[in-house]
């Protein structure tokens, strides 16, 4: 008979003991982290998409919580914002704005990153970088088409407004995650070896 605990944790969140209460607390914490990080916002004069720490938080929530908990956490974030809670960037809510597609992409990215993390995709710097890059692509895949439709622009202009201004920041976030997540796993392994 095998279980998750007999083969080790699948995600960093699995290191924390507990059951349903732990999972609910993790989902709510992930939602809270993403909502808080959305408030760290810099408006850029050349694009309607603000610069925030939300993408980084979304990808970390995915990697740490795993696919299902991340989907629940980011789904809750999405529902709260659409329902009127001021959880989106700049304490906004609703869905009728240029960057809403990115928020929809958070759900897909969190699930994707979480599922890949469950399979060990966040254990080494190189794999973590690939994992985070795929998560960013999932966010762009939903965000840029929404941005293009909302603004009525062509794909080239969509990339100029919705991708290019964020590439350097995304590279820095990927590098940070590639250092933090494998280091956290090394600490978990060291603690379990004692």
Q: Which domains does the chain have, with CATH numbers?
A: 4-193 (1.10.1760.20)
* C-alpha closest to that of 114 among 83, 151, 71, 74: 71
pLDDT tens by residue, 86-131:
999 989 999 999 999 999 999 999 999 999 999 999 999 999 999 9
Residue 154 to residue 4: CA distance in whole angstroms: 47
Mean pLDDT of the chain: 92
β-strand partners of 88: 92
Residues 6+ apart with CB under 8 A from 175: 129
40 burial type by CB count under 10 A (0-12 exposed, 13-18 middle, 19+ buried): middle
| N-terminal to C-terminal alpha carbon distance within the chain | 25
Query: Three-state DSSP class for 188?
Result: helix
Query: What token pair was written down for 160?
Result: 């100029």
Residue 194 CA: distances (Å) to CA of 13, 16, 49, 108: 20, 17, 47, 37
79 within 8 A of 26, measured Cβ to Cβ: no
Q: What is the rounded CA–CA span in Å between residue 89 and residue 40?
A: 8
With beta carbons less than 8 A apart as the criterion, state whether 140 and 163 touch. yes
* pLDDT tens, position by position, 26-43: 999 999 999 999 999 999
In tens, the pLDDT along 6-21 reads 456 789 999 888 889 9
Q: Half-sphere exposure of residue 106, counting CA atoms within 13 Å on the CB side?
A: 30
Find the helix or strand (DSSP H, E) in which 42 lies. Answer: strand 41-42
**Global confidence as pTM:** 0.91
Residue 90 CA to its chain's centroid (Å): 18
């Amino acid at each position: 008979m095998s279980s998750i605990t007999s083969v080790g944790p699948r995600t960093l969140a699995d290191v924390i003991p507990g059951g349903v209460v732990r999972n609910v607390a993790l989902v709510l914490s992930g939602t809270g982290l993403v909502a808080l990080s959305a408030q760290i916002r810099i408006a850029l004069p050349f694009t309607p998409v603000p610069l925030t720490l939300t993408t980084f938080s979304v990808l970390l929530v995915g990697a740490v919580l795993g696919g299902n908990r991340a989907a629940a956490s980011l789904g809750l974030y999405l529902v709260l914002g659409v329902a009127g809670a001021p959880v989106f960037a700049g304490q906004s809510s609703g869905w009728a704005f240029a960057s809403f597609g990115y928020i929809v992409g958070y759900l897909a990215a969190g699930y994707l990153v979480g599922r890949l993390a469950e399979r060990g995709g966040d254990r080494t710097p190189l794999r973590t970088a690939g994992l985070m890059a795929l998560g960013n692509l999932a966010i762009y895949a939903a965000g840029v088409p929404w941005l293009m439709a909302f603004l009525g622009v062509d794909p080239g202009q969509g990339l100029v407004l919705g991708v290019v201004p964020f590439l350097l920041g995304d590279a820095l976030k990927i590098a940070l995650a590639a250092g933090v997540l494998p280091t956290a796993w090394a600490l978990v392994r060291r603690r379990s070896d004692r």
